[in-house]
Structure 1
Amino acid sequence: MKTLVLSHKEVLELLPIKECIAVMREALLALADGNAYQPLRTISRPPDAQGVMGLMPAYMSGDRAAFGLKAICVFPGNPAKGLDSHQGAVLLFSAETGELLAMMNASAITAIRTAAVSGVATDLLARVDACNLALIGSGVQARSHLLAMAEVRAINRCRIASRHIEHARNFAEEMRRDFSFALEPVETVEEALEGADLVVTTTTAVEPIVRREWISAGAHLNLVGSSTPNTREVNSETMAAASLFVDRRESTINEAGDYLLAAGDGVIGPDHIRAEIGEVLKGDKPGRTSPQEITLFKSLGIAIEDLFAAEYLHRRAQERKVGLWVEF
């Protein structure tokens, strides 16, 4: 048996954002239907290390049953070196024999599937006429999220705020050639949020960078940057004011700093989570209920998303005869 190895470039070629959005809908529906299994991720944080390592296993049942494991290192200092902060591999295993079917670049899968899940959430929860995007951050996830937002809504304008205005300017210049709408770098997060009805945060912030009073009525927010219990991108007042949707309840109440720190302030609890995205897709739980409602999707990124992406990539690589196939 041969094992497939897919590079960063090959993953990007085989998994365009539009197709990945459809794959992520399927993954979240499978989770809601009970056709997928995943425990909480395991994080290794050595006290003297510059980064952390996460292990994210999952299983999908059905006609395309498979096991998957993402082994991912997160190094916050990498962007300063011109590298993605997320480095690792996604492994795909046969559900029949346990044989290793594929090893794929995790940086590329993470960048695409995270934005695609935000695309699914935005399509479900944002107002149909939402068109003014505030993009907070200018790294890998900002790039993929700009693609995803443009896929599900007709964007008129995107304002970009970053820790350094030069980064926002460089981002706007780089991405301008791919989009017909205006890309406007701004000095502050508050400026970016003025009049925005779509908000995406993709930062490494530890303390809140978004305040409730800056958010317009009827806006939809995707919070992407924070994935640990002690970091957050929005303040507690924002969490309390918004209708909260998540990828997985269990993961949110154990791992999401935006939720946990607001809960620690006593302003929200588990009942504040209206639904998982899969439950809204199924029609079991309501999404947006009024044009003035503020909706918020807290993205953590979960293992079943990586597994569905990997299984799709494996099939596509076979069809197109792409990748390196090696005896293992």
Structure 2
Amino acid sequence: MLVIGNHTVHRTLDGKEREVLDAVRDAYVAHAAGDTAVPHSVFLRFPADDTNRIIGLPAYLGGGARVAGMKWISSFPGNVASGLQRASAAIILNSLSTGQPEALIEGSTISARRTAASAALAARTMPGETPDTGVSLIGCGVINAEVLRFLRVVAPGLRTVRLFDLDRARAEAFAETHAGGLTAEFADSVDEALAAHRLVSVATTASTPHTGLGHCRPGTLVLHLSLRDLTPEAILDSVNVVDDADHVCRASTSLHLAEQHAGNRDFITAALGDILATGRPRPRDPHKVTVFSPFGLGILDLALADLVRTDAEKHDTAVRLTDFLPVG
């Protein structure tokens, strides 16, 4: 049994954004080809607590990876005020021949980077009429920090970032830490951020819809990563791309609410994996807003966890427990 901590995860993934993008792309293509198994996630919630949760994401990824396992990830937003990260996670990888657990990997960095990589792939795959030179980030936490990291790889023409967070000091700290080389500007409202650029990433802890998209310019791509920010009406008025319709239309996401309102899923235009499988970009509708809403499939976590495990075995940087499992 290998135990791989956060330091080793960073050692493997830092500076390898293109490898991460390739791994996430390959996982999406395998999913589009039906070479995955992705049961519905399990949400553990607590009595009289509408804020905190722990989610289990079991999955099997085929393609060139062939890996099975599960991510167990918590979201406790109150951690931020205590100086802790909102999310913490562990990933277990299992043997496909015996079913035995083979690796336990710290998963928060993997989870954040696979989310950001999927957003960046969407931005690259659905380009605007002209290359994006600016991006608005709504929510200045770990996820949008990673989104900015990966967007700078797929959109090297970025020059400006407009930041909005309910905590202005947090936005200013974000700019100091993550905006190096970009002009950082600050929005006073969500509406101002939505209007500033035709590329927008929304990554907040919102549990219910709080904004429409009326201030977005036509041709805008909104990376709706936190899934519950947009009103059902905004979803229904947009071009919608998802990672998996069955997964994203659950658990009171904005798309789930839109489905309940419309009585169908006809408002979903495409899945990102299907677009990626064609090998061709799908330009945004220049007259409407396009919204990418990824539920975050467990196969993406497995793809990066497998990268980390392989590297840790190669460089002997994991802790190996020889007595973890019973003998015989």
Normalised to the residue count of structure 1, the TM-score between the two structures is 0.90
CA RMSD of aligned residues (A): 2.1
Q: C-alpha displacement at 1:63, in angstroms?
A: 5.3
Structure 2 unaligned segments of length 5 or more: list them: none
What is the match of residue 65 of structure 1? 66
What is the match of residue 171 of structure 1? 174
What is the match of residue 8 of structure 2? 10
Contact 2:25 2:121 in 1 (8 A): yes
Residues 1-328 of structure 1: matches in 2 within 5 Å?
3-16=1-14, 17-48=17-48, 51-62=52-63, 64-127=65-128, 129-153=131-155, 154-176=157-179, 179-226=180-227, 232-255=228-251, 257-266=253-262, 269-283=264-278, 287-288=282-283, 290-327=285-322, 328=324
* 3-state SS of 1:108 partner: helix
Q: C-alpha displacement at 1:70, in angstroms?
A: 0.9
Q: Deviations over 1:5-48 (max 9, x none)?
A: 22122212212433211110011011111111111001121215
Once residues 99 and 67 of structure 1 are traced to their aligned partners in structure 2, the CA distance between those partners, rounded to angstroms, is 11
Contact 2:126 2:282 in 1 (8 A): yes
Q: Deviations over 1:137-193 (max 9, x none)?
A: 1111121111111111121210000012111111111223xx312111222122222
Once residues 214 and 74 of structure 2 are traced to their aligned partners in structure 1, the CA distance between those partners, rounded to angstroms, is 36
Using the TM superposition, name which of 240-249 and 316-325 deviates more.
Answer: 316-325
Q: Deviations over 1:38-92 (max 9, x none)?
A: 1100112121567322111111235542211111222121111122222220011
Using the TM superposition, name which of 42-51 and 123-132 deviates more.
Answer: 42-51
Contact 2:127 2:284 in 1 (8 A): no
What is the match of residue 229 of structure 1? none
Once residues 152 and 252 of structure 2 are traced to their aligned partners in structure 1, the CA distance between those partners, rounded to angstroms, is 26
Please tell me the residue identity of whatever aligns with 1:142. Answer: N
Q: Deviations over 1:256-309 (max 9, x none)?
A: 51112233343x731111111100011299833543342111022111111111
1:270–1:293 CA distance, 2 compared to 1 (3 A): same
Q: Deviations over 1:236-268 (max 9, x none)?
A: 3321222111111110122351112233343x7
Using the TM superposition, name which of 62-71 and 199-208 deviates more.
Answer: 62-71
Q: C-alpha displacement at 1:233, in angstroms?
A: 0.7
Once residues 315 and 25 of structure 1 are traced to their aligned partners in structure 2, the CA distance between those partners, rounded to angstroms, is 19
Once residues 257 and 62 of structure 2 are traced to their aligned partners in structure 1, the CA distance between those partners, rounded to angstroms, is 35
Q: Deviations over 1:172-228 (max 9, x none)?
A: 11223xx312111222122222231100001012343432221011111101123xx
| Equivalenced residues, count | 318
Once residues 105 and 239 of structure 1 are traced to their aligned partners in structure 2, the CA distance between those partners, rounded to angstroms, is 34
Percent identity, please. 27
Once residues 138 and 104 of structure 2 are traced to their aligned partners in structure 1, the CA distance between those partners, rounded to angstroms, is 32
Structure 1 unaligned segments of length 5 or more: list them: 227-231
Contact 2:75 2:86 in 1 (8 A): yes
Once residues 118 and 156 of structure 1 are traced to their aligned partners in structure 2, the CA distance between those partners, rounded to angstroms, is 18
* 3-state SS of 1:288 partner: coil
* 3-state SS of 2:46 partner: coil
Once residues 318 and 184 of structure 2 are traced to their aligned partners in structure 1, the CA distance between those partners, rounded to angstroms, is 35
1:63–1:149 CA distance, 2 compared to 1 (3 A): closer
Contact 1:31 1:278 in 2 (8 A): yes
